[in-house]
């Protein structure tokens, strides 16, 4: 095999597929990137058996072939090369030569046939969505998946297609994030749980352009995202997702409407008084005259008044400030509506059109 690339073109392709290279594995071949130039195009692939990414790299095929190269070493070599043409060549012993100007590397490779290709996905059940919308939906929900795997379902997000809407749901036991977007066409209903890791990595690759589309294909065990010159295939999380509709309520005793940025700024000021090891809640007191945000810790205390519009009863309620900050940061509206029942029940931040709902459990005060 003998190929040539512009250095930055090759590096961009490597950076995309590196996201599917496992940090630890008992199968050394999975620590490699497959370079396949056996057809009329050059494709780079990485696969950790849960997540697989394949992308096309522009370059010249002087001699066709395929080779697997240690991903970390290959990435570091290409990153340090001059911004010039890179020549890649492998011999019958699977040794790889990388030339760029005066730099000449020679490293061992592995037979390309040993590499685990991405699983075949039937492209029948699918939806189409803009890259911008998908990137935004992930950003607006991914923060409330669970970090550990005590409950695997909580480490993923529900993707539900129904009535030509896509609803994306995440939860971690303390909060729920829901985003709902209208699809441009009619599609069959789908309901799958996508690993959070997959969505995190896709979000990093997506350009986020509104005019570029992502095709999302569904099977019983896998989901495939196809955009630009890249394919991302992921295993789905098996199981029945939580019935979040049972957890949502339209009942409330208190509704407040306030400026989102003013509220967010006040909470961010309050956390200046919290050490990482502390779990101090912020106390929100709603009365007819307005709302007070307060915190008291070993470092000091803060009280701040915020103008609001109130419907219903007075209430005093405590929250983990991080949960409020996470939700408010991803809401683009200038003002937000917050619904509360009592100091023990969840509060809801939601818009009138049903595009987003954020449920946050209070803490005891």
Q: Averaged over 48-53, what is the pLDDT?
A: 95
| Domain spanning 125-246, CATH architecture | Roll (3.10)
Q: What is the mean pLDDT of the chain?
A: 95
With a cut of 90, say whether residue 357 has pLDDT above it: yes
- Note the pLDDT tens digit of each residue in 235-262: 999 999 999 999 998 899 999 999 999 9
Q: Which CATH number fits domain 248-360: 1.20.1730.10, 3.40.430.10, 3.40.640.10, 3.10.150.10?
A: 3.10.150.10
Q: Averaged over 17-41, what is the pLDDT?
A: 94
Q: Averaged over 219-246, what is the pLDDT?
A: 96
Length of the chain: 365
- pLDDT given at position 23: 87
- Note the pLDDT tens digit of each residue in 148-188: 878 999 999 999 999 999 999 999 999 999 999 999 999 99
Residues 6 or more apart whose Cβ sits within 8 Å of residue 246: none
Query: How crowded is the C-beta side of 225, counted as CA atoms within 13 Å?
Result: 27
Residues 6 or more apart whose Cβ sits within 8 Å of residue 264: 324, 325, 328, 329
Q: In what order do the strands lie in the sheet with 315-319?
A: 301-306, 290-296, 282-287, 315-319
CA–CA separation, 340 vs 89, rounded Å? 65
CA–CA separation, 294 vs 274, rounded Å? 12
- Which CATH code for domain 2-114? 3.10.150.10
**Structure-token pair, residue 320:** 């983990």
**Residue ranges of the chain that CATH labels 3.10.150.10:** 2-114, 125-246, 248-360
CB 86 within 8 A of CB 35: no
Cα 34–Cα 37–Cα 39 angle in degrees, nearest 5: 130
- pLDDT given at position 149: 77
CB 346 within 8 A of CB 357: no
32-36 and 222-227 beta bridge pairing: unpaired
């Amino acid at each position: 095999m003998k190929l040539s690339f512009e250095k930055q073109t090759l590096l961009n392709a490597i950076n995309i597929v590196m996201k599917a290279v496992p940090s630890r594995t008992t199968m050394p071949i999975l620590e490699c990137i497959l370079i396949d130039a056996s057809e009329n195009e050059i494709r780079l692939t990485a696969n950790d058996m849960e997540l697989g990414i394949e992308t096309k790299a522009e370059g010249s095929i002087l001699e066709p072939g395929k080779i697997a190269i240690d991903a970390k070493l290959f990435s570091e070599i290409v990153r340090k090369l001059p911004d010039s043409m890179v020549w890649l060549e492998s011999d019958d012993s699977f040794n790889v030569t990388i030339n760029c100007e005066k730099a000449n590397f020679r490293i061992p490779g592995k037979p390309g046939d040993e590499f685990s290709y991405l699983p075949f996905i039937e492209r029948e059940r699918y939806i189409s969505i803009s890259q911008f919308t998908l990137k935004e939906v992930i950003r607006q929900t991914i923060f409330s998946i669970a970090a550990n795997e005590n409950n695997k379902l909580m480490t993923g997000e529900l993707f539900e297609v129904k009535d030509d809407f896509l609803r994306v749901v995440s939860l971690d036991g303390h909060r729920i994030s829901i985003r709902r977007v209208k699809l441009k066409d009619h599609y069959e209903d789908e309901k799958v749980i996508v690993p959070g890791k997959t969505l995190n990595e896709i979000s990093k690759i997506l350009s986020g352009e509104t005019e570029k589309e992502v095709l999302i294909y569904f099977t019983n065990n896998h989901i495939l995202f196809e955009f630009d010159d890249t394919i991302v295939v992921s295993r789905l999380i098996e199981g029945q997702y939580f019935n979040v509709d049972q957890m949502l309520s339209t009942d409330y005793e208190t509704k407040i409407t306030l400026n989102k940025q003013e509220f967010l700024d006040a909470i961010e000021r309050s956390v200046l008084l919290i050490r990482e090891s502390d779990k101090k809640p912020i106390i929100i007191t709603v009365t007819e005259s307005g709302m007070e945000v307060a915190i008291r810790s070993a470092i000091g205390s803060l009280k701040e008044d915020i103008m609001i519009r109130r419907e219903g009863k007075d209430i005093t309620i405590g929250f983990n400030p991080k949960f409020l900050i996470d939700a408010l940061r991803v809401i683009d509206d200038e003002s937000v509506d917050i619904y509360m029942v009592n100091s023990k029940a969840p509060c809801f931040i939601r818009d009138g059109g049903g595009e987003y709902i954020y449920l946050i459990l209070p803490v005891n005060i």
